[in-house]
Every structure is written in C-alpha cells, then in structure tokens.
Amino acid sequence: MIRVVLADDQTVVRAGFRALLDLTDDLVVVAEAADGAQAVELARTTRPDVVLMDIRMPGVDGLEATRRIAADPRLDAVAVLVLTTYEADEYVFEALRGGAAGFLLKDVDPDDLREGIRTVAAGRSLLAPTVTRRVIEEFARLTAPREPARERLAPLTGREREVLALVGRGLSNDEVGTRLFMSPLTAKTHVSRLLAKLGARDRAQLVVVAYETGLVRPGES
C-alpha cells in the first residue's frame, strides 16, 4: 500500500481527494492536514510515502512545509507532490527548488492523480523532464542565476557537468547516452552521482540546479 497524507486548508478538497483515493486498492490516506505545520508534523509521525501538498495554506504554507520535509533526513523517503490551481504558478518553481518531486493541477483527472502518486512514491519525478523544464524556464527568465556556478559545480567532473546540462535541457537518460556516446545505464549512473554530489532529491531538482548555476540558460535547446 502507498501511504498518503493530504494537506489542504479546505475540508471539502481533502474530502474529495480522500473519497477518490479510498476507491483505489493500492493507495490509502493515513492522515489529513489543514496547514503546512500540521503536514510536516504528520509526515514525521506517520512516515507516509507521499504528501499531497497544497501550496497556499494559512500560517506555514505548502512551500515552507515542503522545504522542511525535504531538509529532514528522517523524511528522505517521503515524496512531496504539490497541488496548484494553475500550471504557470511561480510558487511551483519554488516548490520544485525546495524539494517537491513534481506538481499536479487541482482539477487533475482521477487516473492521472493516482498514477502521479504512484510515480513519486516509486522515487521518480512526476513530470516529464520537458514539462518540468518549461515551468522552470518560465521563471528562470525573471532572475539571474542565484548560485555561483564555480562553487556549486566544483565537485563535478567535466563529464558530469555535460550530463547535468543535458538533463537541464530536458533529455532522458537514453537521450543523454545517445548525445554523449554512452549507454543509458552509464548515463543513469552519472545522474545518480549528480544527485548525491549536489544534494538533490530527484531529477526535477537537477534541472533547477542547471538553471540556477547558469549551466543552462532560458531558450537553449
């Protein structure tokens, strides 16, 4: 069973998601939170596989709650799946930067919701890299690179920087392998090393790092 915590300040929204997930054999709602602080506490006490997290909540919002969960080593196995009202939401970028595994629109199709939860529970980013990139690129245009590239990228080998740049441009492991004349397994190994060296939780965060350090710039393909 995939264990889920629902975090949304609207009771009717939580009830709707619970009713939907209760009809699914492999998903179970173990707790509900009305704000971000409660979501973090419930994540710590129930250790779910996934927190379905609304962004806009009173007090501690979903962004801060996501950061707290991602920063807690005890919650390494907990994936945060962010819910938003519309796709072009600046807070989605911040959520991905803070450690969210992906995002869904609140009016998501029920089957897509179920599959999204299963995807992040399995340790994968929810979104196709090109979709994640589109969201990140839109808001990367508004700001200069946030982190000094030399310092953040210092632990990486030249080959790892090449792989990171291609991941940042939305390429899959197979496509990275083809571009760099290596097997998909070797590309996957490089991605795993990038996650470890950069302290990133998933592939979506690698895309964020690529933009924040200026390794990839908006509009590049």
CA dist., res. 20 & res. 167, Å (int): 34
Quickly list H helices, 26-123.
36-46, 62-71, 90-98, 110-121
Average pLDDT over residues 210-216: 83
* Cβ contacts of 212 within 8 Å, gap of 6 or more: 97, 140, 145, 146, 147, 152
Phi first, then psi: what are they for 95, rounded to 5°? Answer: -65, -40
Buried b (16+ CB within 10 A) or exposed e, 61-93: bbbbbbbbbbeeeebeebbbbbbbeeeebebbb
What pLDDT, on a 0 to 100 scale, did the predictor assign at position 169? 82
CA dist., res. 159 & res. 180, Å (int): 9
What pLDDT, on a 0 to 100 scale, did the predictor assign at position 119? 87
Model's pTM, two decimal places?
0.73
Amino acid residing at 34: A
**Structure-token pair, residue 64:** 């801060």
What pLDDT, on a 0 to 100 scale, did the predictor assign at position 209? 86
What pLDDT, on a 0 to 100 scale, did the predictor assign at position 94? 80
What pLDDT, on a 0 to 100 scale, did the predictor assign at position 151? 83
96 pLDDT more than 70 = yes
What pLDDT, on a 0 to 100 scale, did the predictor assign at position 6? 97
CB 99 within 8 A of CB 204: no
Using one digit for the tens of pLDDT, what is the confidence trace for 155-179? 999 999 999 999 888 788 899 999 9
